[in-house]
Structure formats: structure tokens, C-alpha cells
């Protein structure tokens, strides 16, 4: 698995310039917005509360662990974007690994813990920041936020162990991409040994004003190490949380951050469609995770990662990232006891 992962990367990383001395192609025709939602962020939050209960925590990826480290940009990043954290100087990062479910006590080996999350905050000069939000699957189960609400409500209506046919099975029957998403989940031996893929598409603009569309990938320097379902069931309910603590007590954890660059015919706005594997990757830099933070409930509640939190030189380029950022902020307000406002 490790050899395969790094063969893919090594055969698609670019050389000293983005297009090997040629001018980049014209800006991508990425089509009309993929998401024109009927429902509000508040209604999506409510659907997650119905599925997972009101847990006084995040509506999804509720169980997690916060770490800190450093980011060192790579020289190739300048060809893609003028974003300040990718121009040469390093910066501090805050990283949160997590399980998918909105239940903060979910066992790490529960199927609803997939996909795993990795969120990164880059701390920029002047007290500003930028975020990357990723999960351990290359793609998304649905094409828009209304379908996500439908999926979560179907899960809530079916209940644990509900025999088919039920609302959830009916949804999967009519949404084969969602079924594929659920059936192809990988189970990591460690948060440090699985690849993560950015949830969102972004427009990168370099110092020459050239635009390129891309999605993030985070590849573990040690390669992937996975468990079978049988192996996972033998693990403790907190095996991932315990393992990452023990690992960091011995050595830092390193991820390579890439931008996978789209071509003109790629459907970058539809997050349920991954970019083809042969699309070029640009190494943006290395994230080295060194320490576990205090991980108090107050610290976790205060930390809200938003995919639309981007600096000059990077713009959101899909119909869902801004919507999800509103969802994250709204659920954070609820955690802190602030009355929710529809659409925030």
C-alpha cells in the first residue's frame, strides 16, 4: 500500500514549473453553480441533530483530538498561488483529527466513525488564519447540500438496525454515489496513516494573475496503514485517540500537502466527482505535527474550521464550501448557548 501511494505521487508531481515552461491553459469552464439550496444552514444543522441527538458538540466530526505543529511551504507553491502562507516562510498550524459522527462518544471502530476528518488551521501574521477541511475519502456522497440533508434525515428515520426496506436504503438505491461512498471507506490503523482529501474546490491565483482550479490532498509521509473490519473490531473504543498520543510521544507526524490541479473538462463544482487520478499534483508544503494540546472542552468548542476561510490568492470555487462554513459557525453558536438564527 505504501509503495502504491508513493508511486502515484511520484509519477504526478510536477517539476520546477507548473506547466514545464509553457503558458497555463485558459481558465476552466466549471459551469453553473452545482448548489442552489432550498434549505438553509439552520435546517441542515437540525437534520444532524435529529440523526445524532443534541450532543452539545459539533453536528458532525464531534469526537476529535487537537494537535499543533508547523507548516513549511514548498517552492512549487508559488507557481500556483500568491497566498501568503505559501510564499516561503513557515507558520504554526493547529490540526484536529476526528470521527465522522455527531456523537462525541462514538467508538473509534464504529462504522459511523468513517470517514475520518483532518482539519488544519494555518496561523498567519497579524492574527489572521486560513483553514483546510478534509476527510479520508476522495469524494463526497452527494452533489449538493439539499441532498445531504435528505441523506441525514433518511438515516435518522431508519434508526439503528432497522430492516430494509427503509428510508436509508431507499436513499442509497436512488443515489449510487452515496452507496459507493459508504461501501469504500477505509479503516485506519492510525490517524497518521491514512490519506485525506479536501472537501471543496478552490481557485488558486498566482502573482501573475493566472488562475488554476484544484483540490487539496494530504498524504501521510509514512504511507497508508489500514485495518480490516475484523481487525478494527478487536481494537478499543478509543484506539485512534490513544495511538496518536503514543505516536507523538515518540516522533512527529508529517503530511505532504498537495493541490491536485483540474483540467478544463473536470467538474470541479460537483464534490461527489473526484478529479481523475492522472491530474497533476503540486506539492504545497509539509505539515509536521509535534504536540497534543490540552484538549479541554472549552478549547474544542472555540475551534471552528471553515473551508471558506481563505486568504488572498485562494477563493472557494464550488457551491458547497460557503454553505458548510455557515453550518459550522451556526452549530458552534449552539454549543456556546447562543440562540441560532436561520441562515447564519
Angle at 70 (CA atoms; ends 288, 17), nearest 5 degrees? 80
Would residue 85 show up in a list of annotated catalytic residues for this protein? no
Sequence-distant (≥ 6) Cβ neighbours of residue 278 within 8 angstroms: 12
Alpha helices in the chain (DSSP H): 2-10, 41-52, 145-158, 167-174, 176-183, 229-233, 239-250, 297-302, 321-335
- The reported pLDDT for the residue numbered 89 is 87
Q: How confident is the model at residue 284 (pLDDT cuts 50, 70, 90)?
A: very high
Report the range of poorest mean pLDDT among 54-58, 139-143, 239-243.
Answer: 54-58
Of 61, 85, 175, 212, the active-site residue reads: 61
Whether the full predicted model's pTM is greater than 0.75, yes or no, is: yes
Q: In whole angstroms, give the CA distance from residue 162 to residue 305.
A: 34
Is 233 in contact with 187 (CB distance < 8 Å)? no
Cell of 236: 478499543
What domains does the chain contain, in order, with CATH numbers? 2-14+62-138+177-319 (2.40.180.10)
The tens digit of pLDDT for each residue in 1-14 reads: 433 333 333 333 33
The tens digit of pLDDT for each residue in 287-301 reads: 999 999 999 999 998
The tens digit of pLDDT for each residue in 155-198 reads: 999 876 677 789 999 999 999 999 999 999 999 999 999 999 99
- The reported pLDDT for the residue numbered 165 is 84
Q: How confident is the model at residue 121 (pLDDT cuts 50, 70, 90)?
A: very high
Name the E strands within 185-232: 187-188, 196-198, 202-205, 211-220, 226-227
Phi, psi of 51 (to 5 degrees): -75, -40
Residue 26 predicted with pLDDT over 70: no
Amino acid at each position: 500500500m505504501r509503495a502504491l501511494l508513493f508511486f502515484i505521487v511520484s509519477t504526478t508531481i510536477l517539476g520546477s514549473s507548473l506547466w514545464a515552461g509553457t503558458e497555463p491553459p485558459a481558465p476552466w469552464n466549471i459551469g453553473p453553480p452545482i448548489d442552489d439550496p432550498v434549505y438553509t444552514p439552520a435546517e441542515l444543522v437540525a437534520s444532524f441533530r435529529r440523526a445524532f441527538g443534541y450532543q452539545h458538540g459539533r453536528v458532525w466530526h464531534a469526537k476529535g483530538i487537537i494537535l499543533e505543529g508547523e507548516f513549511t511551504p514548498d517552492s512549487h507553491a508559488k507557481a500556483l498561488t500568491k497566498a501568503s502562507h505559501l510564499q516561503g516562510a513557515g507558520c504554526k498550524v493547529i490540526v484536529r483529527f476526528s470521527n465522522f459522527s455527531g456523537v462525541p462518544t462514538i467508538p473509534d471502530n464504529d462504522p459511523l466513525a468513517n470517514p475520518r476528518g483532518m482539519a488544519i488551521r494555518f496561523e498567519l501574521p497579524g492574527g489572521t488564519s486560513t483553514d483546510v477541511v478534509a476527510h479520508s475519502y476522495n469524494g463526497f456522497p452527494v452533489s449538493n447540500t439539499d441532498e445531504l440533508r435528505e441523506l441525514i434525515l433518511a438515516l435518522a428515520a431508519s434508526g439503528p438496525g432497522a430492516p430494509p426496506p427503509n428510508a436509508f436504503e431507499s436513499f442509497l438505491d436512488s443515489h449510487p454515489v452515496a452507496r459507493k461512498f459508504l461501501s469504500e471507506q477505509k479503516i485506519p490503523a492510525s490517524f497518521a496513516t491514512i490519506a485525506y482529501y479536501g472537501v471543496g474546490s478552490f481557485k488558486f491565483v498566482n502573482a501573475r494573475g493566472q488562475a488554476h482550479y484544484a483540490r487539496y490532498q494530504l498524504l501521510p509521509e509514512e504511507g497508508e496503514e489500514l485495518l480490516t473490519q475484523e481487525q478494527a473490531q478487536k481494537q478499543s473504543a478509543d484506539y485512534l485517540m490513544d495511538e496518536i498520543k503514543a505516536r507523538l510521544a515518540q516522533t512527529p507526524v508529517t503530511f505532504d500537502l498537495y493541490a491536485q490541479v483540474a483540467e478544463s473538462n473536470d467538474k470541479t463544482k460537483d464534490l461527489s466527482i473526484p478529479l481523475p487520478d492522472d491530474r497533476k499534483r503540486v506539492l504545497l508544503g509539509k505539515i509536521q505535527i509535534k504536540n497534543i494540546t490540552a484538549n479541554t472542552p472549552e478549547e474544542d468548542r472555540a475551534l471552528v474550521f471553515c473551508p471558506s476561510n481563505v486568504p488572498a490568492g485562494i477563493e472557494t470555487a464550488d457551491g458547497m464550501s460557503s454553505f458548510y462554513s455557515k453550518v459550522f459557525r451556526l452549530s458552534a453558536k449552539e454549543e456556546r448557548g447562543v440562540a441560532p438564527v436561520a441562515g447564519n
